[in-house]
Structure 1
């Protein structure tokens, strides 16, 4: 009798080739945030009303994501992917050695990037709002900080894309597709 490599679950069913990882909220949040950030970045001072509306949309998304990071499903929760700096550095070392383990949810570097992006975006939203208040209207330091945070977010987003590409190649899976479909291969 030959052994097969396909596992059979209880009840005689074959396990799915993919499993649900990213819930609809996380996926819609991700792509909507990207769209609103691009709109806010390209409109800047040129189309102020659109820029401000995109900024308020981003702030709303961030508030919802912070809540979802506490009460959402397992892979959306911060507790499932926020790791210590030591774990992040160890994971990056493993990536450099092409020996990084695959994670079903976010890997330690991805978790750190999410937190960095959220912090940069929150800072950008707060300074953007500050510029609309009487107390900080025309304050150059707030405007400069807002621009620096927006450009920093752009740099972080670029690093995020590189990390997704590297992880996709290293583990031979399409992480962009996973963020569209919500599914990743089970093993």
Structure 2
């Protein structure tokens, strides 16, 4: 039986930031690149705030990846029977945090490259490049994990991020 998981704010933020990230990773590095980078950082900041006051599945309290939760989830994966969660599983939560921090760090490093104080300095640009490569790797892992876990658990995670509904974690026969 489908249950409501992701509200429109979470889904809008997710797909808008995803589109911006794809554009900025593979598109030209021009004024639009900068503006979109700042918009992505603003959306991440809004999503972070929504983690405190948003709907139940959007709140950090529903999915924060504590060491104990990560350890328990890793054991379930190793046993071949991953625990299901209505919100993010602990590894998914850890990835969300990593992606958000990388996007914020990219916005900051991109801003630094434009400051007169760093004119002629290579390190802000080098840092921005390294962060963009790290983001590319994390995005690939994120997408691959969503596909693999969707197939493994027979719970369409990508569809859930589109529709807002997913299979009830307690429903083993859907």
Q: TM > 0.5 between the two?
A: yes
Which residue of 67, 70, 75 corresponds with 1:88? 70
Cα pair 1:130 1:137 within 8 Å, conserved: no
Report the structure, 1 or 2, having the larger helix content. 2
Cα pair 1:131 1:138 within 8 Å, conserved: no
Cα pair 1:27 1:182 within 8 Å, conserved: yes
For 2:46, the equivalent position in structure 1 comes to 64
For 1:7, the equivalent position in structure 2 comes to none
For 2:24, the equivalent position in structure 1 comes to 40
The 2-side partners of 1:150 and 1:85 are apart by 27
For 1:183, the equivalent position in structure 2 comes to 165
Q: Give runs of aligned pairs for residues 4-19 of structure 1, distance below 5 A.
A: 17-19=1-3
What is the CA-CA distance between 1:121 and the residue it aligns to? 1.1
Which residue of 47, 52, 77 corresponds with 2:59? 77
Between 63-72 and 131-140, the greater mean CA deviation after superposition:
131-140
The 2-side partners of 1:113 and 1:133 are apart by 30
Gap runs ≥5 in structure 1: 1-16
- 1:20-55 deviations in whole A, cap 9, x for unaligned? 10000000111100100111112243xx11211211
The 2-side partners of 1:132 and 1:157 are apart by 26
For 1:160, the equivalent position in structure 2 comes to 142
For 2:122, the equivalent position in structure 1 comes to 140
What is the SS of the residue equivalent to 1:135? helix
Distance 1:137 1:96, change over 3 A: farther
Which residue of 129, 151, 154 corresponds with 2:111? 129
Cα pair 1:98 1:170 within 8 Å, conserved: no
The 2-side partners of 1:89 and 1:147 are apart by 32
The count of residues paired between Structure 1 and Structure 2 equals 169
The 1-side partners of 2:116 and 2:159 are apart by 45
Q: TM-score, normalised by structure 2?
A: 0.91
Q: Identify which of structures 1 and 2 has the higher relative contact order when contacts are C-alpha pairs closer than 8 Å and 6+ apart.
A: 2
For 1:25, the equivalent position in structure 2 comes to 9
Whichever of the two has the greater Rg, that structure is 1
Gap runs ≥5 in structure 2: none
Q: TM-score, normalised by structure 1?
A: 0.85
Q: What is the CA RMSD across the aligned residues, in angstroms?
A: 1.4
